[in-house]
């Protein structure tokens, strides 16, 4: 489990803070947590993260440098285009999305298209793995509350 679902149990883990990427090492990110790990705590974390997101946007705007927007370039200094050859090898990149940790795994054989791309969405584990454990000893009437409090995204399941 990742993101607000994990932080609602009191675990203070956010990819932006633990493994800063892009400009997150220059921005003060407050990790929003709750203690109980129940449906109310998950909703409360998401609600409070809206305010924190606005705080992050304000900080980013304040620290944004003036001048032209940089072009994406390859390591050799050439402009990156859709037909540029990718470096041979593999890379894994994590980002903190609204629902939790979003993971990209790319393998390249050095051609202009990746050999393999795998995207792991943040809700796959929270629904398919955790849901049965959360529903033990739960009233049938509470199942929709538990389900929707996990902020499911079915498109994550088939990636």
Provide the pLDDT for residue 147.
87
pLDDT at 65 over 80: yes
Length of the chain: 159
* Mean pLDDT over each residue of the chain, to the nearest integer: 88
Alpha-carbon gap, residue 119 to 107, rounded angstroms: 12
For residue 84, what pLDDT band results from cuts at 50, 70 and 90?
confident
Alpha-carbon gap, residue 45 to 14, rounded angstroms: 13
Query: Measured in whole angstroms, how far is the alpha carbon of residue 153 from the centre of its chain?
Result: 13
What's 81's domain CATH number? Answer: 1.10.645.10
pLDDT at 30 over 90: yes
Domain that holds residue 96: 3-158
pLDDT at 95 over 70: yes
Give the rounded percent of residues in the chain with a pLDDT score beyond 70: 91
- CA dist list (Å): 92 to 106, 109, 114: 7, 15, 13
Alpha-carbon gap, residue 49 to 47, rounded angstroms: 5
pLDDT at 156 over 80: no
Alpha-carbon gap, residue 6 to 121, rounded angstroms: 15
What mean pLDDT do residues 21-38 have? 94
For residue 72, what pLDDT band results from cuts at 50, 70 and 90?
low
Our count of domains for the chain comes to 1
Query: Measured in whole angstroms, how far is the alpha carbon of residue 121 from the centre of its chain?
Result: 8
């Amino acid at each position: 489990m990742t993101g607000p679902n994990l932080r609602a149990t009191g675990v203070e883990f956010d990819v932006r803070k633990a493994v800063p990427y892009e400009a997150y090492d220059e921005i003060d990110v407050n990790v929003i947590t709750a203690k109980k790990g129940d449906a109310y705590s998950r909703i409360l974390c998401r609600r409070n993260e809206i305010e924190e997101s606005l705080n992050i946007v304000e900080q980013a705007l304040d620290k944004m440098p003036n001048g032209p927007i940089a072009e994406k370039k390859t390591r050799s200094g050439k402009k990156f285009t859709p037909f540029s050859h990718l470096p041979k090898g593999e890379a894994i990149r994590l980002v903190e999305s609204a629902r939790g940790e979003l993971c990209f795994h790319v393998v390249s054989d050095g051609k202009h298209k990746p050999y393999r791309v795998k995207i792991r969405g943040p809700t796959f584990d929270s629904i398919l793995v955790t849901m049965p454990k959360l529903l033990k000893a739960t009233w049938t009437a509470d199942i929709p509350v538990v389900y929707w409090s996990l902020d499911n995204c079915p498109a994550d399941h088939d990636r």
